[in-house]
Amino acid sequence: MMIWTNGKNKWKKKWILVDKGRGKDEKILLILMFIFSGILCLAEGKKSETEFKVYQFVNSQPINSEDIEDIYNAIIKSSKEFDIDPQLIATIIKHESGFDQFAKSSAGAIGLMQLMPGTADSMGVEDIYDIFDNIRGGVKYFKQCLIKSKNDIPLALAAYNAGIGNVLKYNGIPPFKETQNYVDKILNTYNKRFGKKVRYNEVEFEKAVDGIFSEITFENAEEGEIWVSFLI
């Protein structure tokens, strides 16, 4: 009956079929978008766990309440920019300045990440006392330390403290007590607070035995068992 009537019903039928097809495509598209959104949410959840740990850590420090968000955001943003664990950056800041924005060392290092003015200039820092500028400059410099040390975190920390030149000169952690203590304290905090397992490589550990780990006390020694505590 529909076949012989001027083609109107036939065309109408055809349009109905097209509409149904489009509705099916839209459903598929919505399903794909839902799945993709779920994947993004999972990815964000993973990052949020790390970021939350950083926020908790920053919030536990003696910082003015109005500066907490700025310091946290600067750590997260700069760490993402240079692809470094923000938990490590937060740990470095703790041991460098105690989260004091206006800290200044006897050697002239300034701010949260204790940048020397010359280093700050070379890292493009405009205001060395500014929270974001200082942290970004410090993270950028630490990234250079990581690159020079082939991503060896203990070596990169030593380079940040004593200078890349000294690490290259001694082909490892320099024999400076201050630097050795610095590296060990940061690794200790980083590992314990954030559940990391960063250790000295074998060569550096042997060097450390003659340096930072040389001051030890043997609290209890039985056959085949020695308890050692490090004096830091």
**Which residues are marked as active site?**
96
**Does residue 63 contact residue 99 with C-beta atoms inside 8 Å?**
yes
Whole-angstrom distance, CA of residue 229 vs CA of residue 232: 9
Whole-angstrom distance, CA of residue 21 vs CA of residue 29: 12
Q: Phi/psi at 61 (nearest 5 deg)? A: -90, 160
How many angstroms from the chain centroid is the CA of residue 175? Answer: 27
Two tokens at 220? 């209890």
In degrees, to the nearest 5, what angle opens at C-alpha 87 toward C-alphas 171 and 211? Answer: 35
**Does residue 159 contact residue 167 with C-beta atoms inside 8 Å?**
yes
In degrees, to the nearest 5, what angle opens at C-alpha 208 toward C-alphas 204 and 209? Answer: 125
Q: Any idea which residue has 């664990």 for tokens?
A: 85
DSSP string, 69-136: HHHHHHHHHHHHHHT--HHHHHHHHHHHHTT-TT-B-TT--BTTTTB-HHHHHHTT-S-TTSHHHHHH
**Does residue 146 contact residue 153 with C-beta atoms inside 8 Å?**
yes
